[in-house]
Amino acid sequence: MNIHRSLAPLCAALALLPGCIPVADAAAPRSTAAVPVFEQWRETGHRGNDDLLTAGLGIDALRSTTAPTFANPAEPTADEARRRAIWSSWRGIADLTPGGGFGDVYGTLQAVPGREFSAYARIPGARHPHRVLVQVPDTFDAARRCVVVAASSGSRGIYGAIAVAGSWGLAHGCAVAYTDKGTGSDYYDLDAKVGTQADGTPASQGALAFVPVTPRATHGIAFKHAHSGDNPEADWGRHLLQALQFGLQALDRAYPDAAPFTPATTRTLGVGVSNGGGAVLRAAEIDGDWFDAMVAGEPNVSVAGAPPLYDFVTQAALLMPCALLGVEDLPQPPLQAQAVAAGSQRCALLKTAGQVQGEDSATQARSARQQLTDAGLSDAALRAGAFSTGFDLWRAIAVTYASAYGRFGAGEHPCAYAFSAAGADGTPGPAAAALRATWWSEGSGIPPGSGVVLVHGNAAAEETLEGLNCLRALGRGDSADARRVRAGIAEAAATAPRRGLPIVVIHGLDDGLVPISMTSDRYVPLARKAGAQIAYWRVENAQHFDSLLAFPDYRRRYVPLLPYVFAAMDQVWDHLEDPARALPQDARIKPTPRVDAPLLREQLSIPAARGR
């Protein structure tokens, strides 16, 4: 059990102003002392042919490319929506391919019976709630109480961290608390005026998870991350804290004879990857002994005094298609032939706009590549960035984050971008009810995907780079809209964690989506300068998406990152159980990709735990 902790009132740390962003002041801190009120409480049991970790699907069904069915495609039950959401979340995060190691070398997929508690939570001052959910296994021991707390990776829905926190925490008999951190898959159909209820089913009225406030647009799709007006990234740490607070309240309900559950009597571990890792580091800033330790994998984190990740994303959206022409042996997919055709066209457009130099595609590609190198992108990260380029992720991310940072509602994007449902041929139009019913379960939280497409008010803009240059100007220009976006970026900047909190940061050196040089390499020195107790694992041959190792060419080049996240949790947990066991130490890890053979633990070169 934990030693006694002070429960002094909390206040959030001030997000310091990045020196490269000419905004007068960052947002003032908001108090987190008040106990949040949770609404729309639900409690459900999951046993027998259902369970907490896989919804009764097991490894074979999770590996299947066929989603669990809805008996009525337009009106799924809550159980059906949940089952498909868990299926989608596993497939989006983990490498579940035979031989990939999940369930054998690291992690577990064993069925876990138990209960779920869920609700809406709200950050003080926010327009919209975020989802919180707690899984309590039947093996929970109130005498050895523990809670693992996680935020969804990317902008995924409430089960978006189940492959990380759920697999590890439930196997250790802990309750696992989740938050969608104000993003998530609660899409709202502006045409049909249909959103999502607390149980994940579509509805046009009632206590919907997200309804845009007086949207200017009357057609298309709105979603929380882009259109809530709340700039959720600025509050990711507070979202994680509220998930913990909800977890403790849920345990009070689950075990009233053992209540109250408090941070002083309950072991607490925060964990997350990607945006979820960023949320963990933001929560580490909050005063008060809420968490015993934090583990952050490939965190999306920007620090004061350095260019924000938005700056790189908009630069990559412009230049990377051209720059990749000069990189040989790109990972597949995307297909090389498609990349060459798109890259040649982009180079020509950039040359016309005066944004690259050279009279031929090869020279123009070198010019684009040099600009990315000068921004801090490594050759390995550029190569891994081919996936995000080929599938237009850079533009989708830039559009969504610009809208969020500037707190623009649906129909207000300053670069005239919007989102719409699409037919089978990709043409924007109204959504069919059966398509709409899948969004909560399968949506990634940032379209395109799941039948939702990104559209531009001026269709010709993409042919002249107008839209992409507009997105870039929002982070660098001085218009009123740009000042709004930069103010939102400043609100989301990380500050140093509180002293004495054990933290482990794990990041792949080949990460092409959240480059290590622009995130963790900047955050760790900041934290250390402030006296943080932090370990840093830098992993060679690891990129951002473990799920891509399902493709043969990716597993030939890369190893999964999740084994290192699990190992860090193991070592931190062992230290919390027995302080004679040392916390993890810094390491540069040199694993060997498995190629086509089954993954072996020794190939991962996981740093050994040490005694004191």
In this structure, are residues 557 and 566 in contact, taking their beta carbons and an 8 Å threshold? no
Q: What Å distances lie between residue 399 and 119, 317, 419, CA to CA?
A: 29, 11, 10
In this structure, are residues 32 and 126 in contact, taking their beta carbons and an 8 Å threshold? no
Encode burial over 123-162: b for 16+ CB neighbours within 10 A, e otherwise.
beebebbbbbbbbbbeebeeeebbbbbbbbbbbbbbbbbb
Question: Which residues have CB under 8 Å from 357's CB, separation 6+?
Answer: 351, 363, 364, 367
In this structure, are residues 376 and 517 in contact, taking their beta carbons and an 8 Å threshold? yes
In this structure, are residues 365 and 347 in contact, taking their beta carbons and an 8 Å threshold? yes
Is 302 a catalytic site residue? no
Instruction: Write the burial class of residue 50 (CB in 10 Å: 0-12 exposed, 13-18 middle, 19+ buried).
Output: middle
Q: What Å distances lie between residue 562 and 62, 68, 567, CA to CA?
A: 17, 25, 9
In this structure, are residues 421 and 190 in contact, taking their beta carbons and an 8 Å threshold? no
User: What are 26's two structure tokens?
Assistant: 């960052």
Q: CA-to-CA distance for 550 and 91, rounded, in angstroms? A: 10
Give the HSE-up count for residue 195: Cα atoms under 13 Å, Cβ half-sphere.
17
Compute and round to an integer the Cα radius of gyration of the chain: 23
* Alpha helices in 324-360, H assignment, sequence order: 336-352
Q: CA-to-CA distance for 49 and 56, rounded, in angstroms? A: 5
Q: CA-to-CA distance for 311 and 302, rounded, in angstroms? A: 11
Amino acid found at 288: G
End-to-end CA separation in angstroms for the chain: 21
State residue 555 phi and psi, 5-degree precision: -75, -15
Pick the catalytic residue from 153, 228, 274, 444.
274
Q: CA-to-CA distance for 553 and 547, rounded, in angstroms? A: 13
Q: CA-to-CA distance for 407 and 228, rounded, in angstroms? A: 7
The residues pairing with 559 across neighbouring beta strands, listed in sequence order, are: none
Q: Which of 421, 419, 377, 412 is nearest to 396 (CA)?
A: 419
SS3 of residue 116 by DSSP: strand
Task: Characterise 407 by phi-psi region: left (phi > 0), alpha (psi -120 to 50), beta (else).
Answer: left
Active site residues: 274
